[in-house]
Amino acid sequence: MALRASLAAALLTGALAAGGCSSAPPPSCPPGALCPAPPAPPVIFTTTINGRTAARPLAGPVPSFPIRPGEHLVMQVAVTVPRHVRVTALWVGICKDSWGWGPGDRPTGMNPILTHSRQLLAAGMHTFGLRWRLPKAQLGASLYLCTAWLSQQPPSGSAGAIAVLALN
């Protein structure tokens, strides 16, 4: 009897692992129900700082760039917008230890904002050139090059770090 229960549990576990659990919304949502929106395809950021390039992997660590206080940073951020997404607003700036969204769909924690595009970014790659001098008095914790973007097609948005500016 115990063997039969163990075998049934093993088969059920295998079936669940093979099929996987999904948090995807049901194929149709009943009228008036509060159903989650399907996730938008990711917007990809590739950063070049003082000639060194790194891309933020979808499920990996944020790339790190060593910098010194007072250093002048010449940066290029390539934004790849996937098909079926239209980015309606994009911000790129420096964050200390937090980022997110505030009132009026504006990013928080970004100071200074190095660029803010209100121009529609359709599918494809868009490149932004940025320059910033790290203040000499800036010592201690790392800083982050961060972004925030919004899309109305589909309704989506994200804010986060795309590079660690590691102070040496």
CA 73 to chain centroid: 22
Domain boundaries, the chain: 44-167
* pLDDT reported for residue 35: 63
Selected from 2.60.450.10, 1.20.1530.20, 3.40.50.880, 2.60.40.10, the CATH number assigned to the domain covering 44-167 reads 2.60.40.10
Reading the block at residue 16, the tokens are: 């669940």
Q: Answer yes or no: are the C-beta atoms of 128 and 76 closer than 8 Å.
A: yes
Give the integer Cα–Cα distance in Å for 98 and 43. Answer: 20
Helix (H) or strand (E) holding 11: helix 2-19
Reading the block at residue 47, the tokens are: 């950063």
Instruction: Say if residue 61 is preceded by a cis peptide, omega within 30 of 0.
Output: no
pTM of the model: 0.73
Between vectors from CA 46 to CA 106 and to CA 51, what angle results, nearest 5°? 115
CA-nearest of 95, 79, 77, 80 to 131 is 77
* pLDDT reported for residue 15: 34
Mind listing the pLDDT tens digit of every residue in the chain (168 residues)?
Answer: 443 333 333 333 333 333 333 334 445 666 766 666 556 568 999 999 999 999 877 778 999 999 988 899 999 999 999 998 999 999 999 999 889 998 988 999 999 999 999 899 999 999 999 999 988 766 666 799 999 999 988 888 899 999 999 987
Give the integer Cα–Cα distance in Å for 145 and 137. Answer: 18
* pLDDT reported for residue 140: 63
Count of Cβ atoms closer than 10 Å to residue 74 Cβ: 12
* pLDDT reported for residue 11: 33
Burial class (CB in 10 A: 0-12, 13-18, 19+), 165: buried
